Structure 1
Amino acid sequence: MAPSTRRAYATGERSFTCYCQSMNRSPWPASSDLVEDYVTHLFNTGIASSTLSVYLSAIARYHVMHNWPDPTQSARLKAILEGARRMNGVHQDQRLPITPDLLRQLHSRLHLTSNQHIDQRMFGAAFTLAHHFLLRVSEYTSISPARFNPDATLCLDDVHYDRTMLRCTIKQSKTDQRRNGVTLTMQRAESPFVHDVCTGYSEIRRLLYPANFPFFMHASGRFLTRSDVTEALKKCLPDSCDRMRYSSHSFRIGGATAAAADGQPVDAICKKGRWKSASFQRYIRPFPNT
């Protein structure tokens, strides 16, 4: 789980606990009625729907971790949430997708990211892997340039390939509350471009640093971070693109949009993106002109 998500969940747990204390009620384990009252209370305070969703996810996760029934799945609560969204309006995510064509344009401009050829190859592989496997940036970057979490960060040991396939293991993610991990596999026939970019970088990477270190590392030995990805993306975007509307998450959005445009089954898209509900539909965007 990303540090920012962990902090947000901790805030949600504290908010729920404080509410229960103010009502002289025990918070854990919570009943559906108690969570419904809490949501109504938050709605009346004018809380954003996005924040409300995070707080509910925190409550659900806490119950799953303790093997308690999830109180956030009641039909009445879903009706309350739907009413709240209709009254408040749904915030429109303005981020644009990285289209397959734009991804190739980014590759043609990798020389703008660094004067080190290895770093250019690293950014190209990171962009491509994130797009094809719908990765969250926290799943393939490190905590800082000098620190990583071996239980979460994608390492060289987690990436396997041969001439016909590419496979990577995501050890934990935002929706993987039990940290079971998931292995994502592609055949080279699906996209020779994706396979060759990622395996080509991997061949270089394995000669430089230990296999139990992060997969994405600079020539200097620094680990790739979220801010590195964002900065490199901004440098590579063509002048015709609105840089303010692209972020590291645009690779995940673009990958999901491209998969839907290719007619891939909903189940396959959800599995690849580790979505457990129809929330993936929020990621399907019209392709902008680039």
Structure 2
Amino acid sequence: MGKHKASTSRGGRGKGARGSRGRPRSTSLRSQTRATRATTESQASQQPTGPGVIEPSLGDGPEIAQQATTSHSLQPPTSHQSSDGEVPPTRTRGRGQPNTNTRMPMADLEGETYRLLSKSIAEGTKVCYQGAVNSFQNFRIQYNLDTSWPASTEQVMAFIAQLSLNGLAASTVTQRIAALSYLHNMYEWQDPTKHFLIKKMQEGCRRGPKRKDSRLPITLALLSKLLPTLNNVCSSFYEACLFQAAFLLAFYGFLRVGEFTARGRLGDTKKIIQLQDIQVGNGPLRTMLVKIRYSKTDQYGSSTTLSIKENGILGGCPVVAMIRFLDLRRKNSGPLFCHINGLPLTRYQFGAVVKKALRSTGADIDQYGTHSFRIGAATTAALNGVPPDKIKEMGRWQSETYRSYVRI
């Protein structure tokens, strides 16, 4: 492993009724309203009007939250009735200069309210929460349950039971219930996830058998086999250089895939590593500085700068690979890793090329994932005698979770 330093720059509806024997009374799922195919008029009357960031997905099935001008944000209402009966005009103003007007139109205030609520959680969390809400709605449709909101305690309990029987990890169950809680609170509905029985079911999930992460590490030895295959796996010399630089940076930088790849071709790319975030020094052993704008443990963009030194490994040096890629890349600003047409490298594309390269080496592709670079970096560091506290610092872990990444 090359030397690597990280420095942070500051920049239900009440308690369930109980029977005569003190046991929780269970409401039969089959006895609930079978209203999954209501008329358009009845669905319209149920449509919520609160400032939610996650869509409830009413009606015939799940809906993905509609995108506004900003990814995953809600559009403010088109009109609002004022106290004097007139609809105040909506206007936009720059955020650079303070507004000295003490009375702004209500539309501006509500628009700003929506914006702040939309920014209250990370983009990735919004996507996960929307998927969880869609999953819950699909569950209700599958069992012919009432699809109106707010959800009942009994439905959420049954949903947790299904997730558990399907073998989902306790952390996944917790995430999906958190999404339902978030949705109900954003629309000011009574939150069924706070019910005593639901809390106990979640505790039961956590006390169950732990699911072991079966992903294998991409160690330095395996990485040295993957890099030469990219000349055959990739469609052009440019693409081969791009993925060689990405593979090496992911490994030596202990990177999470979301820190250097976009969610989709048209997704928000402002939070991933940009071209201007890379600086390479001069000298016999050059040092590369890499600015990590946002990460899982840095939701507010304080940023962290990594220092990666040239290691002298022929065909396996992250600094040399990066210089070669930058010589080919267009000089326009934007995401660091982009294709020759300017579109950003996506997580799907990165994962697909990883699997193709692994297949070329004869490895079992089902045992590896994009996170295998981070697992491999921690494992290789431990094999080279790097102290645990240093591994934790290099991987920017803020808890003892890093121990699970060391596979020795």
Alignment TM-score, normalising by the size of structure 1: 0.71
Larger radius of gyration: 2
Equivalent residue runs for 1:187-266 within 5 Å: 187-189=309-311, 193-205=317-329, 208-210=330-332, 212-237=333-358, 238-266=360-388
Establish whether residue 153 from structure 1 lines up as the match of residue 272 from structure 2: yes
Closer/same/farther in 2, CA of residues 264 and 9 from structure 1, 3 Å limit: farther
1 or 2, which has the higher helix percentage? 1
Equivalent residue runs for 1:152-191 within 5 Å: 152-163=271-282, 164-189=286-311
Establish whether residue 272 from structure 1 lines up as the match of residue 390 from structure 2: no
Aligned partner of 1:107 in structure 2 is 227
Identity, % of aligned pairs?
Answer: 31
| Structure 2 spans left out of the alignment, 5+ residues | 1-120, 137-149, 183-200
Aligned partner of 2:248 in structure 1 is 128
For the aligned residues, what is the CA RMSD? 3.6
Asked whether the 8 Å contact 1:2–1:174 carries over to 2, the reply is: no
Q: Deviations over 1:165-224 (max 9, x none)?
A: 01111110112122212111122258672221122212322xx241x2111112233321
Q: By how many angstroms is 1:277 displaced? A: 0.3
Number of positions where the alignment pairs a residue of Structure 1 with one of Structure 2: 248
Aligned partner of 2:116 in structure 1 is none
Q: By how many angstroms is 1:235 displaced? A: 1.6
Write the letter of the residue equivalent to 1:153: I
Q: By how many angstroms is 1:150 displaced? A: 4.4
Closer/same/farther in 2, CA of residues 41 and 115 from structure 1, 3 Å limit: closer
Aligned partner of 1:34 in structure 2 is none
What SS class does the counterpart of residue 109 from structure 1 fall into? helix
Closer/same/farther in 2, CA of residues 57 and 174 from structure 1, 3 Å limit: farther
Whole-Å separation in 1 of the counterparts to 2:177 and 2:327: 43
Q: Deviations over 1:55-102 (max 9, x none)?
A: 69989x9xxxxxxxxxxxxxxxxxx99985443x11111211111111
Whole-Å separation in 1 of the counterparts to 2:291 and 2:177: 28
Whole-Å separation in 1 of the counterparts to 2:212 and 2:386: 25
Closer/same/farther in 2, CA of residues 190 and 285 from structure 1, 3 Å limit: farther
| Structure 1 spans left out of the alignment, 5+ residues | 24-37, 62-79
Equivalent residue runs for 1:32-51 within 5 Å: 47=164, 48=168, 49-51=170-172
What SS class does the counterpart of residue 186 from structure 1 fall into? strand
Q: By how many angstroms is 1:160 displaced? A: 0.8
Q: Deviations over 1:133-180 (max 9, x none)?
A: 1111111012333x3534312111111111320111111011212221
Whole-Å separation in 1 of the counterparts to 2:159 and 2:172: 10
What SS class does the counterpart of residue 184 from structure 1 fall into? strand
Whole-Å separation in 2 of the counterparts to 1:174 and 1:104: 28
Closer/same/farther in 2, CA of residues 112 and 209 from structure 1, 3 Å limit: same
Q: By how many angstroms is 1:113 displaced? A: 2.6
Q: By how many angstroms is 1:253 displaced? A: 1.2
Asked whether the 8 Å contact 2:225–2:361 carries over to 1, the reply is: no
